[in-house]
Amino acid sequence: MTARFVNSQKIGILGGTLDPIHLGHLRVAEEVREGLGLEEVLIIPAFSPPHKLNRPLTPFRDRLAMVQMAVRRCPGLKASDIEAHLPTPSYSVRTLEHLQRLYPGKKFYFILGLDAFLEIATWWNYPRLPELAHLVVVSRGEKTDLGEALSQTFCHFIPRGPNEFEGPKGARISFFSVTRLDISSTRIRTLVAQGRSIKFLVPWEVEDYIYQKGLYRKEEAERPE
């Protein structure tokens, strides 16, 4: 499933807590955008994630501000505050349904890491997701067979190619290989709390913002890595 030309009907979505956004997220968005010929990828910080976190979440306005500054010079990537305008908790199915109403006729590609995909059965109304958007599962270097990963959740999907599976109502799930950047927001928060460098893991504007606002200094400082 590689396209060389941009198709204005195709829009990518990359969501998450993005606390903070880092170069792993940005590189995934850019590679999938280019590889699938998407017009743009909307990067959507979760307003109110339904899953309980074992830490306080950074305010939405800060997480959104960091996404906005991270994509400022990337024409194909766009920050979206859409979840701030939707009911809470922020369910991906609801966000996608809303996007379909906003952009009738567009085809959506919902990008998620393998770690997130392996937990998809815990998401609200998850069987609906691949009906609303083509799921594009990207790996951070994990060696997992997508067929095996699907067997937990979408076992009725039929292989349509080595990395592509089809379900009822035209639902699609594919595996997309990206440059391995083993970066996580957790690691960045820990490094900041420990007073260590986060250079070359996040865009420099995001690094500056984190220090200016004093983000991530305290909450994880006591916790061993």
Residues found near ligand ATP in the complex (CB under 6 A): 16-19, 24-25, 28, 112-113, 115-116, 138, 140, 181, 183-186
The minimum distance between CB 99 and ligand ATP, in angstroms, equals: 17
The minimum distance between CB 139 and ligand ATP, in angstroms, equals: 7
Which residue, 169 or 225, has its beta carbon nearer to ligand ATP?
A: 225
Report the relative pairing of strands 107-113 and 77-79 from DSSP bridges: unpaired
Cβ atoms of 111 and 14 closer than 8 Å? yes
Cβ atoms of 164 and 172 closer than 8 Å? yes
Residue with the two structure tokens 């709390």:
193
The minimum distance between CB 104 and ligand ATP, in angstroms, equals: 26
Report the relative pairing of strands 77-79 and 158-161 from DSSP bridges: unpaired
The minimum distance between CB 64 and ligand ATP, in angstroms, equals: 13
Which residue, 29 or 171, has its beta carbon nearer to ligand ATP?
A: 29
Residue nearest to ligand ATP (CB): 113
Q: Side by side, which strands form the sheet with 7-16? A: 77-79, 38-45, 7-16, 107-113, 134-138, 172-176, 164-166, 158-161
The minimum distance between CB 195 and ligand ATP, in angstroms, equals: 19
Which residue, 17 or 163, has its beta carbon nearer to ligand ATP?
A: 17
The minimum distance between CB 14 and ligand ATP, in angstroms, equals: 6
Which residue, 9 or 179, has its beta carbon nearer to ligand ATP?
A: 179
Which residue, 140 or 217, has its beta carbon nearer to ligand ATP?
A: 140
The minimum distance between CB 51 and ligand ATP, in angstroms, equals: 10
Which residue, 66 or 171, has its beta carbon nearer to ligand ATP?
A: 66
Which residue, 45 or 167, has its beta carbon nearer to ligand ATP?
A: 45
